[in-house]
Structure 1
Amino acid sequence: MIVSAIAFYVFAAMAVAAGFMVIAARNPVHSVLFLILAFFNAAALFILMGAEFIALILVIVYVGAVAVLFLFVVMMLDIDFSELRQGFLQYLPIGGLVGFILALELIFVGVAWVITPEAASVASSPVVADVANTRALGQVLYTQYVYLFQAAGLILLVAMIGAIVLTLRHRVDIKRQVIAHQVGRKRHEGVELKDVKPGQGL
């Protein structure tokens, strides 16, 4: 119990510190790296709570895809970040107001949880010890919501095809892949033997 409590405080402190460094770092690449660190610590917190499926999804989807995509985009784009930071002060009052409201909501939730802890126990669902978290989620997802799951996959497939069609441009100066030519290519068309004499180049 003490080890889990220590691990919780360590991971929570690291997640909060990494989240702060995401917005405090001057280098955008460092901000993305701190974001990846925050995701890893959040996944560790999910594992401590017994939600290993959500932890794995967080690592696979957000760290393995989204955060890495952010990193490549930030590294490839030539953006003058000093020019973007010039208008920071004009958005500071709105950002401070939103942060203040969010802090009030978090304080309200914390105070309500301390005053009436039985509300959390009533709202929580009973824990089934015989079925693992991932297995229970899979049973519900592939039985009751299988059609919605397939519909979501179909929508993502259509979106992927649409993105490919929109970005695929037919230009004369670009070589295009022709599968029939590649499959029908003979060995003598791609390999040429050269008789190179000793001491001579091609």
Structure 2
Amino acid sequence: MIQALAFYLFAFVVVLSGAMTIASRNPVHSVMWLILAFFNAAGLMILVGAEFIAMLLVIVYVGAVAVLFLFVVMMLDIDFAEMRAGVARYFGIGLALAVALAAEVMIAIGAWSTGPIQLARRAAPIDARVPNIQAIGNLLYTRYLFVFEAAGLVLLVAMIGAIVLTHRQRGGVKAQNISRQNARRPQDATRNTRPVVGQGVEL
């Protein structure tokens, strides 16, 4: 009974927060509603026994993506009136795409059918006593170890590429040269013991 009530509560809040994410006029409020939707979706994942997916939703989506969106929206000076004008311009195309997507989903639901679960035919039968996270960890670090390491290598290359592309040397920017300052001799330094008010310094 308690699990059923928790399921309906989480599902209702997910649907409500998703609708408010779209309907909110303030982008900051939209991001906050999106964070609430992620938290409640994580609650639904915990109810069905997928603790790993719940942790991914909280750590990755809420802790990184949603917070990044929030800081980008708050820090950038975006003209939202101009953005709304652009949205109104392409409203017809967006509506047509939404109708086509809804039709595809309805066709897929109508053609979908369920059957008995064949536990013996699964690729990797898992003991019911093994926790969800332990089972995923065993698969990642045994059967899919090289694929897992390759995915990490791809992310590392993407991060290094982004740093190389965005890090540029700009001319005319004042910056300190620590090695040059440490190698300077005392007799090469400039001293101004009695400055005159209103006059500059001649080097």
Relative to the length of structure 1, the TM-score reads: 0.76
Name the CA distance, whole Å, in 2 between partners of 1:131 and 1:177.
57
What amino acid maps onto 1:50 in structure 2? G
Pairs within 5 Å for 1:19-38: 19-38=18-37
Give CA-to-partner distance per residue, 1:127-179, whole Å, 9 cap, x none.
Answer: 6312111011011111111111111111211221222222223344244788x
- How large is the Cα RMSD of the aligned pairs? 2.6
**Bigger Cα displacement from structure 2, 124-133 vs 46-55:** 124-133
Name the CA distance, whole Å, in 1 between partners of 2:157 and 2:71.
25
Residues 82 and 37 from structure 1, CA distance in 2 versus in 1: closer, same or farther, beyond 3 angstroms?
same
> Is 2:71 the counterpart of 1:67?
no
CA contact (8 A) 2:126 2:135 kept: no
Residues 128 and 100 from structure 1, CA distance in 2 versus in 1: closer, same or farther, beyond 3 angstroms?
farther
| 1:149 aligned partner | 148
Name the CA distance, whole Å, in 2 between partners of 1:39 and 1:164.
29
Paired residue secondary structure (1:50): coil
| 1:81 aligned partner | 80
Residues 84 and 117 from structure 1, CA distance in 2 versus in 1: closer, same or farther, beyond 3 angstroms?
same
Residues 136 and 77 from structure 1, CA distance in 2 versus in 1: closer, same or farther, beyond 3 angstroms?
same
| 1:133 aligned partner | 132
How much does 1:89 deviate?
2.9
Structure showing the higher helix proportion among its residues: 1
Give CA-to-partner distance per residue, 1:1-23, whole Å, 9 cap, x none.
Answer: x2111111111111111111111
Name the CA distance, whole Å, in 1 between partners of 2:89 and 2:164.
40
**Which structure has the larger Rg?**
2
| 2:91 aligned partner | 92
Name the CA distance, whole Å, in 1 between partners of 2:153 and 2:114.
43
| 2:174 aligned partner | 173
What amino acid maps onto 1:146 in structure 2? L
Residues 164 and 95 from structure 1, CA distance in 2 versus in 1: closer, same or farther, beyond 3 angstroms?
same
Counterpart of 1:118 (choices 79, 100, 115) is 115
Residues 165 and 174 from structure 1, CA distance in 2 versus in 1: closer, same or farther, beyond 3 angstroms?
farther
Q: Which runs of 5+ in 1 are unaligned?
A: 182-202
Name the CA distance, whole Å, in 2 between partners of 1:28 and 1:8.
28
CA contact (8 A) 2:42 2:55 kept: yes
Q: Which runs of 5+ in 2 are unaligned?
A: 183-203
| 1:58 aligned partner | 57
